[in-house]
């Protein structure tokens, strides 16, 4: 639990720093108040979460459509590619879920400040 809290804190600090730096160079990220700044932090974190999640049917069938890849996989004996791919999907899902959780404090704070 402490590791998750530390990870969420670090992700939010890096996202805040990223938004701060982007606000100097990109006009879209110029935040005029705290709610805008928090919203941009949520957007940055959740965009990375979406990229890490790697879901969808396309990501699970790409290996099956390529004949060259199938030939290479058949050359390697004794290696379980399905287990390795399952491990890869599980790691991406866990990282994406941690990033989603990391965006929740900024999102909830953004909503509270917006409707107060």
Residue at 108 is within a domain: yes
Centre a 10 Å sphere on the Cβ of residue 103 and count the other Cβ atoms it contains: 25
Q: Give a yes or no: residue 75 inside a domain.
A: no
> How many Cβ atoms are within 10 Å of 11's Cβ, its own excluded?
21
Output 1 or 38, whichever has higher pLDDT.
38
Number of residues that make up the chain: 116
In a domain, 37, yes or no: yes
Does residue 22 lie within any of the structural domains?
yes
Question: How far apart are alpha carbons 6 and 22 in whole angstroms?
Answer: 24
104 lies in which domain range? 2-56+88-114
In a domain, 12, yes or no: yes
Domains: count for the chain: 1
69 in a structural domain: no
As a whole-number percent, the residues of the chain with pLDDT over 70 amount to 88
pLDDT top residue among 116 and 61: 116
Domain assignment present for 28: yes
Instruction: Judge whether 95 lies within some domain.
Output: yes
Token look-up 């866990």 returns 94
List, for residues 46-67, the tens digit of each pLDDT value.
998 988 876 554 555 555 667 7
């Amino acid at each position: 639990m402490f590791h998750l809290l530390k990870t969420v804190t670090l992700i939010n600090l890096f996202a805040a720093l990223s938004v701060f730096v982007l606000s100097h160079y990109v006009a879209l990220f110029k935040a005029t108040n705290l709610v805008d700044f928090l919203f941009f932090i949520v957007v940055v974190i959740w965009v990375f979460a979406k990229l890490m999640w790697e879901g969808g049917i396309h990501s699970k069938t790409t290996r099956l459509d390529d004949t060259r890849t199938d030939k290479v996989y058949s050359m390697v004996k004794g290696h379980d590619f399905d287990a390795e791919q399952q491990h890869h999907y599980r790691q991406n899902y866990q990282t994406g879920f941690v990033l989603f959780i990391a965006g929740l404090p900024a999102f909830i704070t953004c909503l509270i400040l917006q409707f107060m």
